[in-house]
Structures are given as C-alpha cells and as structure tokens.
Amino acid sequence: MQSKARHILVVRKANSDRAARLEAEIGAWLRARGHSVTAISGGFDDPAYALPDLDFAVVLGGDGTMLGVARRVAGRGIPLLGINFGRVGFLADIQPEQWEKGLADSLAGITPERTCMALQWKVVRNGSTLAKGVAVNDVVLSRAALSRLVNMDIGVDGQEMCHLRSDGVILSTPIGSSGYSVSAGGPLLYPSLNCMVFTPICPFLNTIPPMVFPQATRFGIDLLPGTTETYITVDGQEGLLLQVGDRVEVTGLEDAVCFVGKEMPFFERLRTRGFVTDMASGAKHK
C-alpha cells in the first residue's frame, strides 16, 4: 500500500556513524516514494522541529534520543517511529535490520499508534518566564552537592498544599513513574493512566507522602529563603540552576506525544527493568 506523501523528519543519534549511514539509506528510500525529508542530528535544538508542515518523524536512536525528540514536538500530533540504536528500547522498538518493513507499515497506517500525556513546565523569576518546556518522563527539583535541604512552598490548583523541606521533589508522568520517582518511594503507575505523580525526595520529618493527582492539576512550587543550591532537571537530560524566589509551575498535557508501534506489555517491561519476578524461571530480578 502506497502511503500519502508526507514531510518526514529523520533524527539520528548524535555521534553514531551507523545511524548516519542508515539515515542516508532511509532518506533515499522515502524520497523515492514521494515524501519530502528533513534530516538532522539529535541531542540539541534545531529549527527543523518547528517546521509547520511536519507530519511524521523517524528517530534513529535509543530511548534518550526519542525523549529529546518527543519533548520538542509535543502537542503537535506528530507520530514518532523509533528505530532502536540503544540498549533495551522501550520507546524505540524497531530493530535497524527491520527498518524497511517497519517504516512501510507505519506510513501505511498498519502499525498501531499510542498517545501519552506529558508535563508542561515553566520557571518564573521576578514575574517573567525565564524558561519553559515539556517533559515526557519527569520534572525534578533537587539540591546540588551540599547536604542541605530545599525549602519550598507547594500549591495545587491555587490552594496551599504544604511547606516542604526535602532533598527535592519529583513530578512524573505514568510512563516516567518507573524511573527516579519509584526509586524515591513513589508509586508505579500503569502507563495508559491520565494522571501525574508527586514524590518528595527524602522529606524532612516525613511531612507528606507520595501522591497521585489528575492530569490537569496545576502545581506551583516556590523556592524559599534558606534553600540550598537547587536545579530543575527535565527527563534527566536538561537542567537549569534556580534561585531563591523562583517559582516553578507544572501541569499535565493530555495526549501530548504520539508513539508508533505496539507498546511492550506492562509486566514484560517491568521484568526487563528488574521490578518483578519472572514466575516462569523463578529468578528474582530485583
């Protein structure tokens, strides 16, 4: 089946000769079938992400590369097809040797697509937006090297939630809940849920437990005097040093990212990450 002509963004893993070679092969294959192609290297911002007529993206890399691309096109309804050049490949699940069939089926609409929520965040300093963006996995506020606490007032939907002194706080999506959040004692969420997780990191005197909130909840986190050096980190890939008086605002974005491909079954994913026991073999992974 011949798919309609599209403008396709091809993003290759940075510093990978193998991915660069496959990018050239895929680009030629797509152009021969009437598609227009824009090819870039991943790992940094590029004007190509903002091209208005993009309607499909092929990512040659691992989950880290996929996350970087997903953040930059979130909310635009652009399907992302991942060809795995990483290790496990939870998000990029087509193997390089199977790229042609995988790409042809995806463009023809044979391969299923799934959407997931993301987090929209911004940092406000002195009344002006200093930085903003999207997170697919999590937004983390955490202290730097000094063994001192982050001092925060946290509000939810305009209401005061708590005053928190801790090593930091994690706000995560369902697909991000199996990372830093669960390691810090947060709940593990089924990936198709539409909600967000609030997880304090080592709260002083255990003032508040991890909690689950609706996707549309709006968090406001104010850094108070007495706070140690604090960073905001997005998906473990982007960071910014904050100051006392800064306000961090985070809310959920429904159906913000679209991934192409059949999702790895939830419990298989947990076994791969070592969260559950493989009952067939009796081997405990974690």
Which residue among 111, 136, 153 closes a domain? 111
Question: Rounded distance, CA 260 to CA 272, Å?
Answer: 20
Q: What angle do CA 140, 142, 148 make, to 5 degrees?
A: 165
> pLDDT tier at 281 (50, 70, 90 boundaries)?
very low
Q: Are residues 132 and 176 in the same domain?
A: yes
Which residue among 111, 130, 145 closes a domain? 111
Number of residues written out for the chain? 286
Whether 280 is in a domain gets the answer no
Least-confidence region, from 29-38, 132-141, 201-210, 218-227: 201-210
Q: Are residues 137 and 160 in the same domain?
A: yes
181 marked ligand binding residue: yes
167 marked ligand binding residue: yes
> Which CATH number do you get for residue 202?
2.60.200.30
DSSP 8-state assignment for residue 243? -
Q: Are residues 26 and 85 in the same domain?
A: yes
247 marked ligand binding residue: no
Q: Are residues 133 and 237 in the same domain?
A: yes
> pLDDT tier at 1 (50, 70, 90 boundaries)?
very low
Query: What pTM did the predictor assign?
Result: 0.88
Q: Are residues 129 and 226 in the same domain?
A: yes
pLDDT score, position 186: 96
25: containing domain: 7-111
Q: Are residues 88 and 142 in the same domain?
A: no
Helix (H) or strand (E) holding 183: helix 182-183
Q: Please, which residues bridge with residue 39 across strands?
A: 10
Whether 271 is in a domain gets the answer no
Quick check: 254 pLDDT over 80?
A: yes
100 and 83 in contact (C-beta within 8 Å)? no
Look over the chain and give the mean of its residue pLDDT values, rounded to a whole number: 90
215 marked ligand binding residue: no
281 vs 277: which has the higher pLDDT: 277
175 marked ligand binding residue: yes
Helix (H) or strand (E) holding 30: helix 17-32
155 marked ligand binding residue: no
Q: Are residues 26 and 142 in the same domain?
A: no
CB atoms inside a 10 Å sphere around CB 87: 8
Whether 284 is in a domain gets the answer no
31-62 core/surface letters (b: 16 or more CB in 10 A; e: else): eeeebebbbbbbbeeeeebeeeebbbbbbbbb
Q: Is the dihedral of CA 113, 116, 120, 121 positive or negative?
A: negative
Q: Are residues 135 and 74 in the same domain?
A: no
Annotated active-site positions, please? 63
> pLDDT tier at 231 (50, 70, 90 boundaries)?
very high
Q: Are residues 67 and 85 in the same domain?
A: yes
34 marked ligand binding residue: no
Q: Where are the beta strands (DSSP E) in 146-194?
A: 150-156, 159-166, 168-172
Instruction: State the total domains in the chain.
Output: 2
Under the phi-then-psi rule, with left for phi > 0, alpha for psi from -120 to 50, and beta for the rest, what region is 137?
Answer: alpha
